Amino acid sequence: MAAPSRDDLRRLHFIDALFAHVTGHDLYLANQIKGAITFSLAELEAQIAAQPALAATYDAAFNAAAADLLAKLFTHLPRHGFYHWDASLTLASATPLFTRAEIMAGLKQLAPFRESTLLVTNLRPALIPPTRRATPRRQRDYEEALAFIRALTAARTVRGSNLQLLFL
């Protein structure tokens, strides 16, 4: 049996962290979830085998499938709030003004829940596009966006509530 690749191990630990409340940090169960997500992306894997240039899109598709699965899981938990913001939906969505508006909308939706999860996806690719260089300014903008979201979330979350802030 071949050793798993570095990307497979990274995805496994990503799924283990994301679904820890379900798996209890059991890597076998996390591997089952990862396998289900990978199976759902089998068509994309076939396209990547034919055109290796598409390999960069696999991680984005895997993250999107994991986020969708997490959203479906939380819809079945009525006492747990869930909000997902994809920062790459538009060109302007990762700017500070739109970031604040989206995070505030999410926090308003999550306010009634004692336990909730705020999932932010594609913030890094929105601010540091993979096809462009990671200049010091882009890196700084990304770090400032992370700090801004963390500070805003901490300041606007109801005391006594348990909010998990996840960045993918």
Domain boundary among 76, 96, 124: 76
What pLDDT, on the 0 to 100 scale, is given for residue 2? Answer: 67
Residue 68 in contact with residue 37, Cβ under 8 Å? Answer: no
70 lies in the same domain as 98: no
Residue 33 in contact with residue 23, Cβ under 8 Å? Answer: yes
Domain carrying residue 85: 78-168
What pLDDT, on the 0 to 100 scale, is given for residue 56? Answer: 67
CA distance 19 to 79: 17
In the chain, the number of structural domains is 2
What pLDDT, on the 0 to 100 scale, is given for residue 155? Answer: 94
- Which residue ranges in the chain fall short of pLDDT 50? none
Q: Look at residues 87, 81, 78 and name the one whose alpha carbon lies nearest to residue 60.
A: 87
Q: What is the pLDDT of residues 86-128, one digit of tens each?
A: 888 876 777 888 899 999 999 999 999 998 989 898 888 888 8
Q: What is the DSSP letter of 25?
A: T
